Amino acid sequence: MNYTQWLLFFLIVQLIHFLGTWKLYVKAGRKAWEAAIPVYNAIILMKIIKRPSWWVVLLFIPIINLLMFPVIWVETIRSFGRNRLLETWLVILTLGFYIYYVNYALDVEYIADRDLHPKSASGEWVSSIVFAIVAATLVHTYFIQPYVIPTGSLERTLRIGDLLFVSKFHFGARVPMTTVAAPMVHDTLPVLGTRSYLKKPQLPYMRLPGFQKVGRTDLVVFSWPADTVRQFFKAEAGVKKPIDKKSNYVKRCVGVPGDSLEVRDGYVFINGKQLELPGRARPMYDYR
């Protein structure tokens, strides 16, 4: 999807939100038109459900918003007295459209002094787990992500099975292009072994500003640009995946744009000079 298509999609979502909630806004002492103004309606909704305004930011962060939307749906109906477990599941399983039923078919009253604390130990556990998942997904997606070395191409610097924690914000985190995906997994659901994402809709390629640029001899993790593999060390044809779901590779950068590169007798030369590896690099030798 290009930017125009995403703008239309965003406006359609805003229309759906307005049609499903405007009466609830009025019952909460707000104006009906406040449910129709993009972004502003989310700020007002946070006030209605007694949640902090910074939650609005989370609604516009890819992947994080998939976790936040169900929370907002549940908080909305509970602000109008719909606290039963059945209704909680209904609003989640209907992707929020149960709010339409509450908005038009039920004579509900706004609970201005609603207690926000869970009423049971299980509710406390659920709230803590949801918060932990949101925080971990935010860190995993935009700041630091763990990787396991799958191949021996960087022996002896990195070995097969080594666990790495890789910074994303130094070079600028790539905003997820796949908008509907399971949090904190790459392309496959654990145990089930099935695809962890939907191929559509896709965001355009975007990257957040970084603090530094990739330099010579830096180790970098990147998405293999060709048709990728479904599983390492399993012989099969290439698999077509979205860019951000392609297989992750780790390599050492030896040249940057504008460099000339040569390999002479097994040694790398950049711009006519032999590449000097950092002290942490460990050459690998073959013996006969």
Cβ burial 99-124 (10 Å sphere, 16+ → b, else e): bebbbeeeebebeeeeeeeeeeeeee
> Pick from 101, 195, 186: which is nearest to 137 by CA?
186
For 104, the token pair is 């038009």
Exposed/middle/buried for residue 31 (C-beta within 10 Å: 0-12, 13-18, 19+): exposed
Q: Does residue 42 surpass a pLDDT of 90?
A: yes
Residue 232 pLDDT class (50, 70, 90 cuts): low
> Pick from 9, 144, 123, 130: which is nearest to 67 by CA?
130
Q: Residue 134 and residue 184: Cα distance in Å, rounded?
A: 10
- 216 vs 285, higher pLDDT: 216
> Pick from 155, 162, 152: which is nearest to 285 by CA?
155
Ordered by where they begin, the domains of the chain are 3-132 (no CATH), 143-288 (2.10.109)
Sheet of strand 273-274: strand arrangement: 261-264, 267-270, 273-274
Average confidence (pLDDT) over 97-118? 87
pLDDT of 123: 66
Q: Give the helix/strand (H/E) hosting 219.
A: strand 219-223
Average confidence (pLDDT) over 149-178? 85
Average pLDDT, the chain: 85
Average confidence (pLDDT) over 78-102? 90
Greatest extent of the chain over all pairs of C-alpha atoms, in Å? 84
- 189 vs 124, higher pLDDT: 189
